[in-house]
Amino acid sequence: MKFNTMTILGTQWGDEGKGKVVHFLSRDADYIVRYQGGNNAGHTIVINGSEHILHLIPSGILERKRCVIGNGVVVDPAALYDEVALLRRKRFDVRGRLFISERAHVILPYHKFLDAVKESSQKIGTTQKGIGPCYGDKYSRSGIRMCDYLERDTFAELIDRNLAEKGPVIERFGDLAALRRRMLAERDRYARFLQPFVCDTTRLLIGAIEQGKKVIFESAQGTLLDVDFGTYPYVTSSNPITGGVSVGTGVPPWYIAKTVGIVKAYTTRVGEGPFPTELASPLQEQLREAGREFGATTGRPRRCGWFDAVVVRHSIRVNGITELVLTKLDCLRGISPLKLCVAYRYGSHTTLTDFPASRKVQRTVQPVYIETPGFTEQIRGITRYRDLPASIKRYITLIEKHCGARITVISLGRDRNETIFK
């Protein structure tokens, strides 16, 4: 039996424009599901010139679809409360359309304290929103899940245990007794808010899929930030890759029919870590301004560089990507020649066509580029592939050739209507 399901994920270091694509495709979907990450992610969607930024709730909520936060997501109750309040102010009511897994782990204030301590020594470039420490508790079996959070006596018992364990570090940030009182008071407030949304989302999703409903799974971050397959240790604390869908939702792997990769026409990353094609010229600032490359969550300027086909080939392989969506092509206007990295040179004699695991190699490789003429034409507003300038079509063809996958959709702007189906 073939199911009507799709995974949409980023092929680079995140910020590829997944939010717009998910929102665009969600018009025909029944459910949109987040399966990993937390409010360290951010999706910016523009509808009729109005900008909406979401961090936890799938962007399909703006199409008034049913949205699910899976068990693989870590949830900050305060952040979710604020996001729902913002949506309501914009007249997007989430009642009956938002579902949160009872098995999702909860971010608590001490996770943010621990994040700050870790970042001060490790310098990963995290958002310091407590994501990593919350996942750390999950895998050390000291985490607190939504179902625990809703039970006041269970929650009180678990935070006492965790505060005893983490106390020597947390005490740097204040009195433990005061922190305990604060968390219990916040729990009483947020538990009432969360209760209507929390359920067995695995049963909900499997039932919907078996009934023929269309379900879209969306990642946070991108493949090169995957904790296993990214530029470790400069990664997130979860698995944005396709394999994370089953772990993060409980939906069996064979229920996922198609995987679509979102790829930006150039490359960006936020935070620390290796970036072989990063530009060290004024062109970086030009790309940053043209693409409005500033983090939706932190506002940090993104590092910008040439398109890296080695990175995207790696993503296609580990995700089983069947087609690509190309975004921000319009931001390359006025740049000539355009460069694409097709391999890496390591040392004086070694050429690499596969993305390396070694952090030393990642840090020291030099990109091998090919060049193609740029374009000066204004392409915003074009809605048919055949109307694109020949130089742009050559660039697209080169990306397809060196990545080994077909581009089926091209985004030429932030608004959902600025889209070409190839």
Short-list 150, 58, 39, 166, CA closest to 110 = 166
Residue 326 shares a structural domain with residue 396:
yes
- CA 178 and chain centroid, separation: 35
Both tokens of 235, joined, read: 């990664």
Same domain, 123 and 80: no
CATH number for the domain that contains residue 415: 3.90.170.10
Number of domains in the chain: 3
**CB-count exposure of residue 378 (10 Å: 0-12, 13-18, 19+):** exposed
Using only the alpha carbons of the chain, give its radius of gyration: 22
Q: 3-class DSSP state for residue 342?
A: strand
Q: How far apart are CA 375 and CA 264, in angstroms?
A: 17
**Structure confidence at residue 178 (pLDDT):** 92
Written as one letter, the residue type at 204 is L
| pLDDT on residue 46 | 67
| Dihedral, CA of residue 404, residue 405, residue 411 and residue 417, to nearest 10 | 170
244 and 141 share one domain: no
Residues 85 and 190 in one domain: no
Instruction: Let me know whether 382 and 284 are in one domain.
Output: yes
Question: Of 260, 287, 314, which one is at a domain's C-terminal end?
Answer: 260
For every residue of 84-99, DSSP letters joined together read HHHHHHTT---TTTEE
Q: Are residues 276 and 178 in the same domain?
A: no
The pLDDT value recorded for residue 24 is: 82
List strand residue ranges (DSSP E) for 242-365, in order: 258-264, 267-269, 303-305, 307-308, 323-327, 338-346, 350-352
CATH number for the domain harbouring residue 186: 1.10.300.10
Contact 7, 242 (CB under 8 A): yes
Are 217 and 300 within one domain? no
Share of the chain above pLDDT 90, in %: 75
Same domain, 285 and 396: yes
Low-confidence ranges of the chain (pLDDT < 50): none
Which residue, of 225, 260, 295, is where some domain finishes?
260
Any idea which residues carry the catalytic annotation? 15, 43
Looking at the structure, do residues 92 and 224 belong to the same domain, yes or no?
yes
| Tens digits of residue pLDDT in 105-130 | 999 999 998 888 877 777 676 778 99
Tell me the residue range of the domain where 51 lies. 5-100+198-260
Residues 41 and 156 grouped into a single domain:
no
Domain final residue, candidates 194, 215, 235? 194
Query: What pLDDT score was predicted for residue 230?
Result: 97
Are 250 and 286 in a shared domain? no
292 lies in the same domain as 240 = no
pLDDT of res. 118: 79
